[in-house]
Amino acid sequence: MMGREFEPWYRAEHPRLVVSLALACGRMDLAAEAVDEAFVRALERWDRVSAMASPTGWTYRVALNCLRRRERSCAGTAALAAGADT
């Protein structure tokens, strides 16, 4: 895929990835945010990502990692808040 092919790929894959990630995490809003972040990263690295065997697979993995990072961050914040209450 060439650089100008990002937009059609994005339009085709974005909804699918959001639904897939929402099924994995149970929250459409968090899934959409993580997928958006992953597509930004894909665009920033489009020359490399487009040459991969599965740009969609790479983007899904990045989105999943973004989601996990947010979950860890939220869990850490909740733990700190709970510790402050004691």
Closest CA to 42 of 60, 69, 28, 25: 60
Which pLDDT value is given to residue 12? 97
Q: For all residues of the chain together, what is the average pLDDT?
A: 88
Which pLDDT value is given to residue 71? 80
> In the predicted model, is pLDDT for residue 72 greater than 70?
yes
Please report, rounded to a whole number, the percentage of residues in the chain having pLDDT higher than 90: 74
CA dist 55 and 2 (Å) reads: 12
Q: Domain residue spans in the chain?
A: 3-85
CA dist 73 and 67 (Å) reads: 10
Among the residue ranges 2-6, 23-27, 76-80, the one predicted with the least confidence is 76-80
